Amino acid sequence: MAKNQKSYPPEFKQQIVDLYNAGGTSYPQLEREYGVNRSTLSNWVKQLSPIKVSEEETVTLKEYKALQKEIQLLKIENEILRQRRAEPKKRPPYSQKNNSRNCCIYPE
């Protein structure tokens, strides 16, 4: 973040997005009233506006992107686990079955 850049709390951002989505307020009005740049307002609306997933469920773009990232990580983890399962099991070098000689470690 730049030194002179303002930081806004998430509650404030959501309040602005809700005002915009209610339909009564435009970007120029919000810009004048709250002193926030139009491009910043536009980004907030894109990220925080609800997207209807099903009849009763909605998510924001930010949540959707986080879910997509999590899905990709899980796919990678699954592939790694499949590869490990497909590899033949190796016995450790100290295993009794790998020891071809019958010798004692501690001779009497």
CATH 3.90.1150.10 is held by the domain 10-73:
no
Domain spans of the chain, in order of start: 10-73
pLDDT in tens, 52-106: 888 888 888 888 889 999 999 999 999 999 888 877 777 666 655 555 555 556 5
Provide Rg for the chain, Cα atoms. Answer: 29
Residue 50 has what pLDDT?
83
pLDDT of residue 87: 75
Q: Which long-range contacts (CB under 8 A, 24 or more apart) does 47-53 make?
A: 48/13, 48/14, 48/17, 49/17, 49/21, 50/21
